Amino acid sequence: MGLWHHRVISAHKSYIAETSLFSATFLSQSTSFQHFGKLALFPTDNIPHKQYHQNFCSKENIAVTIEGKIINLNHISNICEYVTHIYKTYGREGLYRLEGEFSLIIYDEQKQLTLLFRSLLADSLIYFVAKNNLLSVSTNPIHLLHRSDVSDSLDSEEMNALFTFTFSSAKGNVFSELTEVKGGEMVVITPENIEHIKRPLSEILVPEHYGSQLEMVERYRSLIQQRVRDSLLPDIEHGIMLSSGMDSSTVAVFAKQQLKKENRALTAYSWKLPNDPKGDESVRIKELCQALDIPLKLFNGESFGPFDSLDNLMLLPDTPYANPYWSINAETYRRASDDGIGALLNGGYGDMLFRTQHDLLIDIIKDRRFDIFLPEIYAIVKELGYSNAIRRLLRNLIPDILLKYRRKTDSLRVVPWLSDSAKESRSSIFQKKEHCISESGFESFALPLSPYQTGHLRVERYLSRGRGITLIDPYIDIKLLNYTLGIPTYMTHRNGQTKYFAREAMRGLLPESIRLQPRVGILTQILQNSYDRNKKTTRERILDDRKVWKQYVDESWMENKLNSVTALNPFNLMVFWLSINIQAWQKAIKPGGSLYEG
């Protein structure tokens, strides 16, 4: 599934007009459609809820193609024509009026201009390369590698960042010759220039008014309830991927309420891990479903670890990193699809709505909430013990200039598995990462808006779309994110609890065992159990082809860990997992490979 734009760029404008090409490609389980020329239309009449898919139109020498959804235009019958109207009337500034998660390409033939725009939380990436008077744009970077003058060389810093699990946002993609349009960025390409425009968050996000504690709680409840309602699709059976945590449980409550009013059903899907007490959430999930009267489909997930299907890896076109739990998610999608489910809700992005504890004491002092100052210190001591609590308190109260120094110092700590070349670039990776989050007053947005987090749903859609399922995460909403990240930290962390205001918002709506307790499942044991079952195969796979991973991982470290007879920590196992993925991915992106030819 993707968008594709390809045209000649040259100083000779008449030459461009004669040779410009605009194409759009839609790929689904059963549909393949491609059209070149100045006019192309998608067969959207055959696609239900077409506002969630690409649209293409060409009118008055302006061609527009969109992937994703624009929520404040759902009442418009032809979204692309309306976007064209906005662009012609208000210029490129008018595009900031559009709300939703989408990427778009505009080709203005009269101005000989290509405009690329990606909203802040859009999971549809846009890549482009402008070289030798030829511009190519695609949501699938492998498409661009088909050009004879574009190589598949990789960016060493981005690859090293993968192996430090920092997921640097400095460049945005692993391909050296390709440029990615970042979230919230607009790129204007003419024969003479390539202009990158990114508005400050202070110009995009409207300051919120919070009022009393009760008003904060009620406002959040209203926002997430409305967001869930708006996310539901008409005429489609809905399911939900359910965990024992607050985020998916909250979605389940409001989805159930709305679907019940419409005489429609909601079915929950999850897994049990009978031999993994720390990872098994099934008892709490059963309790939740019983309380909410939601039918539950459970399956045994123990055989769906990352090392159990090394001959059938999920490979993504834009990154060699893949979710180690992809196979258990894929099994969930398969079962839901077999049951006729067309839309599957989850709450995977929910954690991003809550600030860390770093500003807790600062917010308490700033807002003169001295009534909770000592109780919060006591809660920290109770949770961490005296020595660790003192360290936490000092970190919370440390001046910003010292905080930045501490971050830089932490970045220089050596990760034991890195190769010598990867260690050398570790410092610069962190410095660029710091630069990406330097906008004053918006530091808490750095992680939620990072490529790794905004790409979460995109990665899962590679799996779900093959089963004909639309994934829906109601938490991916910039207005909701803006509201929650502005709430004082003492409303997020209180009495030793995280997500305090969200838990208060669900009082009386969720069973107390779910509302008050943190999520019980720890999935790291799946990694170890899967590795133990497949240790010989994993070892052979990694050592049979060293040339790819040894650029990033020290060979002696790798051999030592592969020969270890004791349990390994999750980071060690993730290095194994990533090394295997990179081996397969490097082959898949080359001519003849599955991703290149797919």
pLDDT band at 30 (very low <50, low <70, confident <90, very high): very low
Instruction: Indicate if the pLDDT at residue 334 is higher than 80.
Output: yes
What's the confidence (pLDDT) of residue 167? 58
> Could you give all domains of the chain from N- to C-terminal order, each with its CATH number?
2-199 (3.60.20.10), 213-301+328-353+450-515 (3.40.50.620), 357-443 (no CATH)
Query: Which is higher by pLDDT, 442 or 74?
Result: 442
Instruction: Indicate if the pLDDT at residue 457 is higher than 90.
Output: no
Query: Which is higher by pLDDT, 426 or 548?
Result: 548
Query: Could you report the per-residue pLDDT of 160-181, keeping only the tens digit for each?
Result: 888 887 654 445 689 999 999 9
In 10 A of CB 5, how many CB atoms? 24
Query: Could you report the per-residue pLDDT of 210-259, keeping only the tens digit for each?
Result: 889 999 999 999 999 999 999 999 999 999 999 988 999 999 999 999 99
Average pLDDT over residues 489-518: 88
What's the confidence (pLDDT) of residue 305? 93
Instruction: Indicate if the pLDDT at residue 520 is higher than 80.
Output: no
DSSP 304: -
Closest to 253 (Cα-Cα) out of 360, 316, 347: 347
pLDDT band at 491 (very low <50, low <70, confident <90, very high): confident
Instruction: Indicate if the pLDDT at residue 24 is higher than 90.
Output: no
Instruction: Indicate if the pLDDT at residue 10 is higher than 90.
Output: no
Query: Could you report the per-residue pLDDT of 134-151, keeping only the tens digit for each?
Result: 899 988 899 899 999 999
What's the confidence (pLDDT) of residue 322? 85
Q: How far apart (Å, rounded) are the C-alpha atoms in residues 370 and 361?
A: 10
What's the confidence (pLDDT) of residue 249? 96
What's the confidence (pLDDT) of residue 165? 78
CA dist 113 → 84, 135, 197, 402, 522 (Å): 14, 11, 15, 46, 50
Q: How far apart (Å, rounded) are the C-alpha atoms in residues 578 and 323?
A: 10
What's the confidence (pLDDT) of residue 22? 33
Q: How far apart (Å, rounded) are the C-alpha atoms in residues 573 and 576?
A: 5
pLDDT band at 367 (very low <50, low <70, confident <90, very high): confident
pLDDT band at 293 (very low <50, low <70, confident <90, very high): very high
Average pLDDT over residues 495-507: 89
In 10 A of CB 214, how many CB atoms? 9
What's the confidence (pLDDT) of residue 53? 38
What's the confidence (pLDDT) of residue 149? 93
8 A C-beta contact, residue 376 and residue 494: yes
Q: Which residues pair with 68 in a beta bridge?
A: 102
